[in-house]
Structure 1
């Protein structure tokens, strides 16, 4: 394993884009292109990090101190995994599971809790899918003296009850979503289990609670910025190993893990004039927004009161099939990742849960590290690239979290109880039909073909 110094700055990719991101739209006036991209209770520091074309942002000393307990994270060449899958080129892995949350989510949770605390917020409210984000925020709130409330997708909480236990141990209040606390859950009829609904419940609850603020961990531009520590470390670690890769892989729910590992490579190539590696987003075949979705304006949560964002989406109304890839079961990709996908600056591959868990099983047996099901998607794509000619020099993949609270999924795999049913085309078409396409003027320069 390799060790490097902890970055003291985050690195933004915004200065290296050919044009600004399409502006958000008000849900009340979807035809207007007014920029309503940030909430009124969002700390000004996060607003600036989302909108300014500034490349390097100093990491606050308090956040750096917290990072030092688990960063830098290890990167190594997975030689035994290479042999097990028959790789033709090296596969390197960047492991983010060695902290209290068990995932990369703590990188932005600590930053956000710090900025919200400085802004005078007393409670952070959020929605979570598999529970890594909820756990990370609970830990960050505990560190910075904030209350924390988490709405977790109900089916996921049933499968991973100890995620709830860990969040409560860290001081958080945890609700299974749909809950009985919000109007948006009542309107859902109680039968919907989706990250969009859990987020919608959090938005509603925070909006009516004094001293509380809604906090999101993945899709926002500032959260992708905070995750850049992953890619910054990886670039230095690969250089230390004198290794060259032409593919960078991360799994995608909304996009913070993928953006964190991949976009620093894009910024580095833009700065140095070197060729940029292929940046490959690995998504769940149950939620194939980047491979089968449309680039359109859509809701980010089930309330419909948040700004409409330009994203690759399968439609917020699409009933996402149940799977063990809870952290990837979000209908849309982050607007930053989506814009870069539209401009062919990133690409994507979809993976079924069986293939993902099989890749995770092989990785466990060969590298002695148990990856989360979400991370199994990245490993499956890394194996495809390394064995099928998609990479000529090498692949680096982010193993975004551990799978110790996902053992039920691996048990079902061993028992032959899992399947990977892709979404039905007509259902996808119906969910996407009413969406408003992003105007061509705002996305000139891209010729992405789905």
Structure 2
């Protein structure tokens, strides 16, 4: 073990010049493509125009792109990434020893930024494309608050308005996370709220509810689609989010090499 430690350090750092210059679109290499998003009204695959009222134009293109293997990362996003990227690849020697395993265990530490999580990788990209489109702001939901914090930070950096609907139980249980978002200039509303039609409907039907992620999403989408100059952004689930997070795997591969 001692000799191996000398060969492979606990932490492997890349230089800024070794950062990926393009995101990796895994769908381009998939022989069987993922099933398309379906229009809830018609049941048919959703196209660009179906998604325009909700999402930013460039993010829709990324969402629907099954063919381009590499999507260039804009320079402004690369410059932002440099505040906390490349992130270190860590060899988990102590965990290997505790498990008594012959496996070599590595992990990528993504918490070395002010938002505290990997979610900033996609938040800055989505906020950037909203800004490029000339939008005034974005809406979103957050559960525990990590995505809301990351998006609030990205919007503050780019001068965008940010409206966050936070699941009510988390809003009440995590006041510090809530206030970090507000420190960045975001408005944070406990969901369900009286500020939207769907929120009022849910509160009328379930007066004592502590909220849910689905409810917060519904409120954020309603506000985005009914407020000129706003679009909805999401921190997980979507193809575009996976695309932006591929920067982690690309750095990992470079470090392992």
Displacement after TM superposition at 1:192 (Å):
4.8
Give runs of aligned pairs for residues 358-437 of structure 1, distance below 5 A: none
2:123 to 109, 116, 133: 109
Q: Is 2:243 the partner of 1:225?
A: yes
What's 1:40 paired with?
52
- Summarize the Cα distance change of 1:86–1:159 in structure 2 as closer, same or farther, 3 Å threshold: farther
Question: Separation in 2 of the partners of 1:230 and 1:166?
Answer: 25
Give runs of aligned pairs for residues 252-267 of structure 1, distance below 5 A: none
- Aligned residues: CA RMSD: 1.6
What's 2:4 paired with?
none
Displacement after TM superposition at 1:187 (Å):
2.3
Contact 2:56 2:231 in 1 (8 A): no
Displacement after TM superposition at 1:36 (Å):
4.1
What's 2:20 paired with?
7
Give runs of aligned pairs for residues 83-98 of structure 1, distance below 5 A: 83-98=97-112
The list of structure 1 runs, each at least 4 consecutive aligned residues, that deviate by more than 3 angstroms after superposition, is: 85-88
What's 2:29 paired with?
16
Q: So what's the TM-score if we normalise by structure 2?
A: 0.87
What's 1:195 paired with?
213
**Residues 125-154 of structure 1 deviation map (CA, whole Å, 9 limit, x = unaligned):** 100111111011101111111010101111
- Summarize the Cα distance change of 1:194–1:85 in structure 2 as closer, same or farther, 3 Å threshold: farther
Question: Separation in 2 of the partners of 1:158 and 1:85?
Answer: 38
SS at match of 1:99: coil
SS at match of 2:140: strand
Contact 1:25 1:36 in 2 (8 A): no
Displacement after TM superposition at 1:159 (Å):
2.1
Displacement after TM superposition at 1:202 (Å):
0.4
Question: Separation in 2 of the partners of 1:84 and 1:121?
Answer: 51
Q: So what's the TM-score if we normalise by structure 1?
A: 0.51
SS at match of 2:188: strand
Contact 2:169 2:210 in 1 (8 A): no
What's 1:127 paired with?
141
Contact 1:150 1:172 in 2 (8 A): yes
Gaps of 5+ in 1: 240-450
Contact 2:12 2:90 in 1 (8 A): yes
Contact 1:23 1:36 in 2 (8 A): no
What's 1:162 paired with?
176
Question: Separation in 2 of the partners of 1:192 and 1:25?
Answer: 30
**Does 1 or 2 have the higher relative contact order (CA < 8 Å, sep 6+)?**
2
Contact 2:38 2:46 in 1 (8 A): yes
Displacement after TM superposition at 1:68 (Å):
0.3
What's 1:213 paired with?
231
What's 2:254 paired with?
236
Displacement after TM superposition at 1:15 (Å):
1.2
SS at match of 1:135: helix
SS at match of 2:12: coil
- Summarize the Cα distance change of 1:186–1:232 in structure 2 as closer, same or farther, 3 Å threshold: same
Displacement after TM superposition at 1:88 (Å):
3.7
